[in-house]
């Protein structure tokens, strides 16, 4: 009887051990088998902080270039400060505003009232001087890509004191795509009939009528070029005193006329 009781107790203990082992095996993770790949939780889609709806990508857009500022100094002398802060002097002679260090100096021809480069005493490192000599090479008018401005030389001359091989005009195009045309000293040129395609914004036409075209011919040239704004300049042959003639400027009979007095600034926009 005692042995039977001991055997019964032993059988009961074995059953308890078996049941306990099964319970533990159900709690253990299952082993991967074969080639099945283990799947990691997709934190991008499961975490609401990383859903596509909650992600905002900042777009940094480059601001549009601003306008250049043009100062008319009288006669054919112009100073331009670009949106990048670059300073351009054209035909230095008239006026006194030459205090800003130059990055570019443009000269249309050699006559004294267009070529006083010594007035530009302050010059930044790398300042370029472009004259008619560089602008016309082997009879071909050159274009200069300078980063802050594109300078395209065009024809000027066609009269007894201004030879087409020794004179140029310039079309300057700035980073905002606006353009300025300065004729320099000239009569009507063959190229002007084609310049309408350039869609020039501001055009300066010499009008003195003594060594260049007068008001009537200048108006004809303005009609050919077709600029949005037509500005009379180089209206006197005086070597002293004011280099501007308001009365003559008001006789410049063209559409889209814009009178800019000496010492006045305009925005090229």
pLDDT at 23: 47
pLDDT at 132: 95
pLDDT at 26: 47
How far apart are the C-alpha atoms of 211 and 206, rounded to whole Å? 10
Residues in the chain where the model's pLDDT stays below 50 = 1-2, 4, 8-9, 13-19, 22-38, 40-41, 43-45, 55-57
Query: Do the Cβ atoms of 162 and 186 come closer than 8 Å?
Result: yes
pLDDT at 79: 98
pLDDT at 51: 53
pLDDT at 82: 98
pLDDT at 63: 86
How far apart are the C-alpha atoms of 85 and 124, rounded to whole Å? 12
Query: Do the Cβ atoms of 95 and 263 come closer than 8 Å?
Result: yes
Beta strands of 30-97 (E only): which ranges? 68-74, 77-81, 87-90
CB atoms within 10 A of CB 243: 23
pTM score, whole prediction: 0.78
Query: Do the Cβ atoms of 98 and 88 come closer than 8 Å?
Result: no
């Amino acid at each position: 009887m005692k042995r039977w009781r001991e055997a019964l107790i032993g059988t009961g203990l074995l059953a308890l051990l078996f049941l306990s082992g099964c319970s533990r095996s159900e709690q253990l993770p299952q082993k991967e088998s074969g080639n099945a790949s283990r799947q990691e939780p997709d934190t991008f889609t499961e975490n609401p902080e990383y859903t596509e709806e909650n992600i905002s990508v900042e777009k940094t857009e480059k601001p549009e270039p601003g306008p250049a500022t043009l100062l008319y100094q009288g006669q054919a002398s112009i100073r331009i400060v670009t949106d990048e802060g670059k300073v351009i002097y054209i035909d230095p002679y008239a006026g006194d505003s030459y205090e800003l260090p130059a990055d570019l100096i443009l000269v249309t021809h050699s006559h004294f009232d267009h070529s006083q480069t010594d007035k530009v005493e302050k010059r930044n490192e790398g300042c370029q001087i472009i004259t008619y000599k560089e602008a016309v090479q082997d009879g071909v008018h050159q274009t200069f890509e300078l980063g802050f401005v594109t300078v395209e030389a065009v024809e000027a001359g066609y009269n007894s004191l201004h030879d087409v091989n020794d004179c140029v005009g310039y079309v300057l195009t700035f980073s905002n795509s606006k353009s300025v045309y300065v004729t320099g000293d000239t009569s009507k040129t063959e190229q002007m009939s084609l310049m309408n395609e350039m869609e020039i914004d501001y055009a300066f036409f010499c009008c003195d009528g003594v060594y260049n075209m007068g008001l009537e011919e200048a108006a004809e040239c303005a009609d050919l070029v077709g600029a949005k704004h037509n500005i009379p300049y180089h209206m006197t042959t005086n070597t002293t005193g004011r280099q501007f003639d308001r009365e003559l400027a008001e006789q410049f009979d063209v559409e889209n006329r814009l009178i800019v007095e000496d010492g006045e600034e305009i925005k090229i926009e």
